[in-house]
């Protein structure tokens, strides 16, 4: 009997292929949208993490309290041993020191007089070590407009917009005027190796990027750094894990009485990022639930219509002596099979599209012109574990519920009308 | 040929609700049918043919009176028991064939045997026999859309007969067929009636069917108007 029903299911395209396609499309959209929303919300988090906050950040307690001012006079010293401790105790992160600094960039003319000047926001990061992943993390190679990445000490990168404003080109020299860690005046000459386009106004306005050793030299920060950023090895922020790791670090290394003791903060505990992380979590959940509900209604209706369309076939089976319960159960089994097959196909398709958008992204840099917010130039999906099962909820449950509802007609159907109905 | 009673109807009344009142479709039917009969309920539309066929086929229940089919009182059967009676003892032939369009001729005829849980080898033998009865052994792998109307109705007859039921109920079985096909179908059913001793009860107003009947039960306004047995 099962074989008979299965043959019917396979051969009747409107009973198998069409419902499977409908379920697969619904599930695909559910999976893709979930991955897309998570990716979109997560991308903004990751962009901020890469440029500013890390997934976790280690600073001195005093630096942390005044983080908005980037107080390098409160920087961490003796970082070599601290980095060793971090690598040993927290191997789930990739640790990298960063120095953020502000200053004035002066571009001289041929006679050494000031040609142009502009305020700059600077990043000192490890650009010259072979093992460093900083250039890749910030996508510097692809962001290059002119010149090349720094290959030797004394070379820096300028944002393209900033270089045009200063009327300087790769190969020319500029002078950074800032303050040292100890409060003195810092003047240091650099050679521009290349220019960058970030696609984000906040960064394009006046960013310089230099190797951290050059910045240390310029700002008198021997074996010191403003902050140590930690990035999860899988590249994605996990708030719960970041919070627990930060608590573990602070319990081990922290000191309430020493304002220069290191403190670790998760991304969500830096600036306004906590609100955004919560917003991202909430919106991802709400939008996904709304979409799952909407798709459930669509698939429920598909199941309902599929059941109603088979009224004639069910009538013949009842007239020939098949019991109502048996007919009903066979329809449910069919809908479960359709739900499972459609959900598997839909999930595979949804994950495939999500993977494409995760890998290649959708470029929105054109829409971001003029924005001062640090947002990604490409929206990327992000495949997370729920994407592997989230589509099965509308895919199977809604299809089965639709069939169950349409099947109620079997119980309410008056067999006395079968002859008349079957003549129709 | 006709001996023991397989249908016994006493004072059957069937009413249907209509608006605020009721419509009486059958009014005091008294009838019996013996095994092996080839009989027909004849009458104009609205005379109660299909309603009576429904009740005999355990698809409906009487409002009053008693209907006993193969020893079972139709009014007292649960839906499960009624389904079992249809599955085990009754065959149905419909005006518009009602075959499973996506299944082959073989699978359509096999279906009642699947419901009865016959083993595969037994099913194969029985389906092959049924195909021979109706002369469709060459169409075993065809599907209903590939068959003519006459062939479809012959498949429907084979499906109704394959389990060798005691009674076959046929509602206007030739209504969708031309004259030649109608006669072929009717001859097939007459042969099966003779060979297998299966009782046939038709609901019809088709003269071609009527000409083959050996018992003609005329219904008019829900009553038996005349009951004529044709001697061989």
pLDDT digits (tens, 9 = 90+) for A145-167: 899 999 999 999 999 999 999 99
> Which residues from A are below 8 Å from B98, CB to CB?
312, 315-316, 422
The verdict on a CB contact (< 8 Å) between B88 and A321 is yes
Which domains are delineated in chain B? 36-58+87-229 (3.40.50.300)
Listed residue (A183, A224, A275, A257) closest to A58, CA to CA: A224
How would you class A394 by CB atoms within 10 Å of its CB: exposed for 0-12, middle for 13-18, buried for 19 or more?
buried
How far apart CA A179 and CA A367 sit, in angstroms, is 37
Whole-number pLDDT of residue A331: 85
Interface contact A316, partner B, CB < 8 A: yes
How, if at all, do strands B167-171 and B199-204 pair? Answer: parallel
Which percentage of chain A shows pLDDT scores above 90? 38
Q: Mean per-residue pLDDT for B63-72?
A: 94
pLDDT 10s digits, A239-280? 899 999 999 999 988 777 788 899 999 998 887 788 888 888
Pairwise CB contact (< 8 Å): A319 & B92: yes
Q: How far is B188 from chain A (nearest CA, A)?
A: 21
Q: pLDDT tens, B94-125?
A: 888 889 889 999 999 999 999 999 999 999 99
Residue B61 has pLDDT above 50, yes or no: yes
User: What is this structure's pTM?
Assistant: 0.68
Q: How far is CA A52 from CA A47, A48, A227, in A?
A: 8, 5, 10
For residue B41, give the 3-state DSSP assignment. Answer: strand
For residue B136, pLDDT beyond 70: yes
**Residue A14 pLDDT > 80, yes or no?**
no
Nearest to B84 among A321, A422, A423 (CB): A321
ipTM rounded to 2 decimals: 0.85
Task: pLDDT band for B30, please (50, 70, 90 cuts).
Answer: very high
Of A397-401, B18-22, B71-75, where does the model show the most confidence? B71-75
Q: Average pLDDT in the A171-193 region?
A: 92
Mean pLDDT, range B40-48, rounded to an integer? 91
CB contact under 8 A, A419 and B90: no
Q: Angle at which helices B179-196 and B120-134 pack, to 10 degrees? A: 130
**Residue A17, C-beta contacts closer than 8 angstroms, at least 6 positions apart:** none
Closest residue, chain A, to B50 (C-alpha): A419
Cα-flanking dihedrals φ and ψ of residue A92, to 5°? -75, 0
Tokens representing residue B77 in the block? 């059967």
For residue B231, the distance in angstroms to the closest alpha carbon of chain A comes to: 31
**Percent of chain B clearing pLDDT 70 (strictly above):** 98
Does pLDDT of B71 surpass 50? yes
Of A8, A322, A414, the CB nearest to B83: A322
Q: How many CB atoms lie within 10 A of CB A184?
A: 10
| Buried/exposed A296-333: b ≥16 CB within 10 Å, e otherwise | bebbbebbbbbbeebeebbbbbbbbbbbbeebbebbeb
- The dihedral of CA A294, A295, A297, A298: what is its sign? positive
pLDDT of B5 > 60? The answer is yes
Residue A328: band (very low, low, confident or very high) from pLDDT cuts 50, 70, 90: confident
**A89-119 pLDDT, tens per residue?**
999 999 999 999 999 999 998 888 889 999 9
Which range is most confident: A354-368, A402-416, B15-29?
A: B15-29
A369 pLDDT more than 60:
no
Q: Residues of chain A with pLDDT > 70: what percent?
A: 93
**Among the partner residues A1, A7, A320, nearest to B86 by beta-carbon distance:** A320
* Average pLDDT, rounded, for chain A: 85
Looking at the partner chain, which of A7, A322, A420 has a beta carbon nearest the beta carbon of B115? A322
Q: Quote the pLDDT of residue A374.
A: 47
Assigned token pair, A100: 């953020």
Flag the least confident range among A418-422, B16-20, B107-111.
Answer: A418-422
Residue B21 has pLDDT above 50, yes or no: yes
DSSP H or E segment with residue A31? helix A17-48
Nearest to A117 by CA among A127, A103, A131, A134: A103
Beta-bridged to residue A174, according to DSSP, are A190
B82: closest chain A residue by CA = A321
Is the pLDDT at A307 greater than 50? The verdict is: yes
Burial of A6 (0-12, 13-18, 19+ CB in 10 A): middle
Average pLDDT over residues B40-64: 91
Asked if the Cβ–Cβ distance from B96 to A313 is below 8 Å, we say no
pLDDT number for residue B174: 84
**Average pLDDT for residues A175-201, to the nearest whole number?**
89
């Amino acid at each position: 009997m099962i074989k008979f029903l299965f043959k019917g299911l396979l051969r009747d395209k409107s009973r198998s292929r069409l419902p499977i396609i409908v379920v697969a499309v619904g599930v695909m959209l559910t999976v893709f949208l979930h991955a897309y929303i998570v990716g979109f919300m997560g991308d903004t988090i990751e962009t901020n993490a890469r440029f500013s906050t890390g997934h976790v950040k280690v600073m001195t307690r005093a630096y942390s309290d005044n983080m908005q001012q980037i107080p390098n006079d409160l920087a961490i010293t003796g970082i070599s041993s601290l980095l060793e401790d971090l690598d040993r105790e927290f191997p789930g992160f990739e640790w990298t020191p960063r120095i953020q600094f502000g200053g004035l960039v002066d571009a001289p003319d041929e006679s050494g007089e000031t040609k142009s000047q502009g305020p700059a926001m600077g990043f000192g990061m490890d650009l010259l070590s072979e093992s460093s992943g900083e250039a890749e993390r910030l996508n510097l190679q692809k962001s290059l407009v002119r010149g090349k990445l720094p290959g030797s000490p004394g070379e820096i990168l300028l944002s393209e917009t900033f270089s045009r404003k200063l009327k300087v080109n790769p190969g020319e020299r500029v002078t950074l005027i800032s303050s040292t860690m100890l409060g003195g005046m810092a003047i240091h000459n650099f050679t521009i190796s290349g220019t960058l386009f970030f696609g984000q106004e906040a960064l394009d306005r006046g960013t310089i990027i230099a190797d951290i050793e050059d910045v240390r030299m310029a700002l008198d920060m021997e074996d010191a750094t403003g902050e140590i950023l930690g990035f999860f090895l899988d590249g994605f922020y996990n708030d719960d894990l970041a919070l627990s790791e930060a608590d573990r670090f602070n319990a081990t290394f922290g000191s309430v009485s020493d304002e220069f003791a290191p403190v670790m903060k998760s991304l969500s505990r830096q600036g306004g990022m906590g609100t955004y992380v919560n917003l991202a979590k909430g919106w991802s959940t709400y939008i996904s639930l709304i979409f799952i509900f909407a798709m459930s209604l669509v698939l429920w209706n598909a199941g309902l219509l599929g059941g109603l369309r088979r009224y004639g076939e069910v009538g013949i089976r009842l007239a020939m002596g098949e019991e109502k319960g048996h007919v009903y159960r066979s329809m449910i089994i069919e809908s479960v099979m359709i739900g499972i097959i459609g959900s598997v196909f839909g999930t595979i398709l949804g994950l495939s599209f999500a993977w494409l958008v995760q890998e290649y992204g959708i470029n929105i840099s054109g829409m971001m012109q003029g924005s001062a917010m640090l947002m990604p130039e490409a929206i990327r999906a992000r495949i997370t574990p729920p994407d592997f099962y989230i589509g099965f909820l509308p895919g199977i449950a809604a299809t089965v519920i639709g069939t169950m509802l349409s099947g109620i007609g079997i119980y309410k159907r008056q067999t006395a009308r079968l002859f008349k109905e079957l003549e129709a | 040929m006709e001996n023991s009673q397989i249908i016994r109807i006493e004072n059957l009344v069937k009413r249907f609700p209509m608006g605020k009142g009721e419509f009486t479709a059958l009014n005091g039917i008294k009838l019996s049918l013996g095994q092996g009969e080839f009989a027909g309920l004849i009458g104009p539309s609205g005379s109660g043919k299909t309603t009576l066929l429904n009740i005999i086929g355990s698809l409906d229940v009487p409002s009053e009176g008693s209907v006993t089919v193969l020893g079972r009182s139709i009014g007292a059967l649960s839906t499960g028991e009624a389904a079992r009676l249809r599955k085990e003892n009754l065959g149905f032939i419909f005006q518009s064939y009602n075959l499973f369009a996506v299944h082959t001729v073989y699978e359509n005829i096999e279906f009642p045997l699947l419901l009865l849980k016959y083993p595969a080898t037994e099913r194969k033998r029985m389906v092959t026999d049924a195909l021979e009865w109706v002369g469709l052994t060459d169409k075993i792998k065809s599907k209903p859309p590939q068959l003519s109307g006459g062939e479809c109705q012959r498949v429907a007859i084979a499906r109704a007969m394959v389990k060798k039921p005691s009674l076959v109920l046929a509602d206007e079985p030739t209504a969708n067929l031309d004259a030649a096909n109608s006669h072929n179908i009717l001859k097939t059913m007459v042969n099966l009636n003779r060979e297998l001793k299966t009782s046939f009860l038709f609901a019809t107003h088709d003269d071609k069917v009527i000409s083959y009947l050996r018992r003609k039960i005329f219904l008019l306004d829900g009553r038996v108007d005349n009951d004529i047995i044709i001697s061989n």
